[in-house]
Structure 1
Amino acid sequence: MADSGRPDTSSEAGRRSFIHILNAKLPRKRNIAQGLLRNEDGEVLLCELAYKSEWDLPGGVVDPKESPAACVVREISEELGVSLGIQGLLAVNWLPPWRGWDDAVLFLYDLGVVPRSFTDDLTLLPREIKAVHWVAPHELGDHVAPYTARMVEQLLDGDDTAYTMYFENSEVPGA
């Protein structure tokens, strides 16, 4: 230990010790990765979840040392039994604490447009997904958490921008 009470970071062991202390004390945010998948009619794919009342976009919580992009691809493969690529990052959304969860950062990826029949051959993971549904954008609020409805509504109502949207609690900061 250096005189300041901090580990001596001039060595690799000291540097790792200091990082361990920081990791134990600094806040950690939960990261969520989800995908926006639409059909040719503009409807959005929602998953009816086995563990909560709100439906949600496909995806899930990012595992430690996993990128958000890898997470959404993995979650879709595990939970829907299909391989989908991502076409880009649509939005980053900071979410305040909600229903007992700490705050989180949500990464929303564009999964493209598929035929309505895409859902016919999915293999759902029953402990996670009860069913999937195509839902018109104006009906999202009837099924998903309010922050999801606001975020997707703003994305679909906005101009086709060439950049990723940034939200805080599904609203554009300062707007």
Structure 2
Amino acid sequence: MADRPPRTAPDLTTDEGRISFNRILNDRLPTKRAIAQGLLRNESGEILLCELTYKSDWDLPGGVVDPLESPASCVVREIEEELAIGVDPGALLAVNWLPPYRGWDDAVLFLFDLGVVPERVATRARLLRREIRAVHWVPSDEVAAHVAPYTAEMLRLVLDGTGGTAYLENSEPPRRH
């Protein structure tokens, strides 16, 4: 077996060296799944939930952030693709770290305020049938009966909050250590 020349560390004093070092880190550091969802309400205060084809829990509109895509861009793209509804993300309501759940690894969920729209927006939605079975306007006090427990708790905290962005871990404020 021929001797290999020793690896040399990238020269961090040059742009090329720093970029090379960043590539090494990108290849070795863990990645985390990111999810972007939106809170869309009608004039009555009901929340839009999606009845999904691939799981029993209903969910807020949105989806998984693609590589190199921002969470805000993701929520716009996903809602356009899955519901044919154009949205403008408003305030970031919550950043919620989610532990592993039903076979998924942990993730970070970004919840955006999508504002108030007329009720007819849901009836005019063109659903991506391979993912969305139906959409429903649900009163906030009935949401927990339809969504995963972490979604119900996150919405409860966001809707009961005093404003600002909530940082949550498994839909709870982080505990002091």
Residue 56 of structure 2 corresponds to: 53
Name which of 108, 111, 114 aligns with 1:111.
114
2:165 paired with 1:164: yes
Instruction: Give identity over the alignment, percent.
Output: 64
Aligned positions of 1:1-175 closer than 5 A: 6-159=9-162, 161=163, 163-174=164-175
Q: What one-letter code is carried by the residue in structure 2 that aligns with 1:44?
A: I
Q: What one-letter code is carried by the residue in structure 2 that aligns with 1:158?
A: G
Unaligned runs of 5+ in 2: 1-5
What are the Cα deviations for residues 116-141 of structure 1, in whole angstroms up to 9, with x where unaligned?
Answer: 22211111111111100111112222
Mapped to 2, the partners of 1:118 and 1:139 lie a distance apart of 20
Mapped to 1, the partners of 2:84 and 2:58 lie a distance apart of 18
Mapped to 2, the partners of 1:100 and 1:141 lie a distance apart of 21
RMSD, aligned α-carbons: 1.7
Compare CA radii of gyration and give the structure with the larger one: 2
What are the Cα deviations for residues 81-101 of structure 1, in whole angstroms up to 9, with x where unaligned?
Answer: 111111211111111111111
Mapped to 1, the partners of 2:29 and 2:8 lie a distance apart of 17
Aligned residue-pair number: 171
Q: What one-letter code is carried by the residue in structure 1 that aligns with 2:67?
A: P
Mapped to 2, the partners of 1:61 and 1:88 lie a distance apart of 19
Q: What one-letter code is carried by the residue in structure 2 that aligns with 1:149?
A: A
Mapped to 2, the partners of 1:19 and 1:47 lie a distance apart of 39
SS for the counterpart of 2:112 is strand
Mapped to 2, the partners of 1:5 and 1:48 lie a distance apart of 54
Identify the range of structure 1 (4-13 vs 131-140) with the bigger mean alpha-carbon deviation.
Answer: 4-13
Unaligned runs of 5+ in 1: none
Mapped to 1, the partners of 2:161 and 2:7 lie a distance apart of 52
What TM-score results when the alignment is normalised by the length of structure 1? 0.91
Mapped to 1, the partners of 2:87 and 2:121 lie a distance apart of 11
Q: What one-letter code is carried by the residue in structure 2 that aligns with 1:157?
A: D
Q: What one-letter code is carried by the residue in structure 2 that aligns with 1:17?
A: S
SS for the counterpart of 2:34 is strand
Q: Which 4+ residue blocks in structure 1 deviate beyond 6 angstroms?
A: none
